[in-house]
Amino acid sequence: MRNVRITWILGLALVASVGCEQGHGEDKKSQLGVGVADASARIASTQGNQVEGTVSFQKASGGIRVVARLTGLKPGLHGFHVHTNGDCSAPDASSAGDHFNPSNAQHGDRYDEQAHVGDMGNIVADDSGQASLDYVDPHMTLEGENSIVGRSVVIHANQDDVQTQPAGNSGPRVGCGVIHAGRG
Ligand SMILES: [Cu+2]
Ligand SMILES: [Zn+2]
């Protein structure tokens, strides 16, 4: 009789402990880019190229601080932009679409008053093919109409002349990465 009672008590304890395990809901806010302080993109090369690296975006005074570190580039200047679609799946990254341009502006340089929100100018690779960039972008945001979250970063084979419409004549896309909320 005592054994039956102990089994019954153990059974109750088990039910109680299982009942305490509750799932935690997904953070919808971060998916929508609302209240996001950081975003990042991991860059992978397009077909036939060797570009790799990371780009981070952080809320800062005066805009969004962009910090990029890339390897595997041809020495020299390379067009560097946020493109509209968060889709790098095509072998040539054509799936990323055009420069992110919610205000229907002309193509320009990163600090130009008239420029695409996605215009980050050029990134410069040294003789070993490494490139870094660290600046505060005045146009882009991490929430609202100009939000770059869910879009993509694209690196080009050639220099962006920051003049030719609609994309600065910077040639094929050599690297691409989707921008996600968070530090990555
Ligand atoms: Cu581009
Ligand atoms: Zn542009």
pLDDT digits (tens, 9 = 90+) for 9-25: 444 444 444 443 343 44
pTM: 0.81
116 is catalytic: yes
24 is catalytic: no
- Predicted pLDDT at 5: 56
- Predicted pLDDT at 36: 86
Local confidence band at 26 (pLDDT 50, 70, 90 cut-offs): very low
State percent of the chain over pLDDT 70: 82
139 is catalytic: no
- Predicted pLDDT at 34: 58
DSSP 25-42: PP-HHHHHTTT--EEEEE
Catalytic entry in 78, 83, 110, 139: 83
The pairing of strands 38-45 and 52-60 is antiparallel
Distance separating alpha carbons of residues 92 and 101, to the nearest angstrom: 21
Q: What is the mean pLDDT of residues 163-179?
A: 97
Whose atoms come closest to the Cα of 167: which ligand?
2
36-181 has which CATH code? 2.60.40.200
Q: What is the mean pLDDT of residues 126-146?
A: 97
Q: What is the mean pLDDT of residues 37-58?
A: 97
Annotated domain spans of the chain? 36-181
- Predicted pLDDT at 184: 77
State percent of the chain over pLDDT 90: 79
Question: Residue 12 C-alpha to ligand 2 middle, in angstroms?
Answer: 65
Q: Which helix (H) or strand (E) holds 66?
A: strand 63-71
Catalytic entry in 139, 151, 156, 180: 156
Question: Residue 177 C-alpha to ligand 1 middle, in angstroms?
Answer: 12
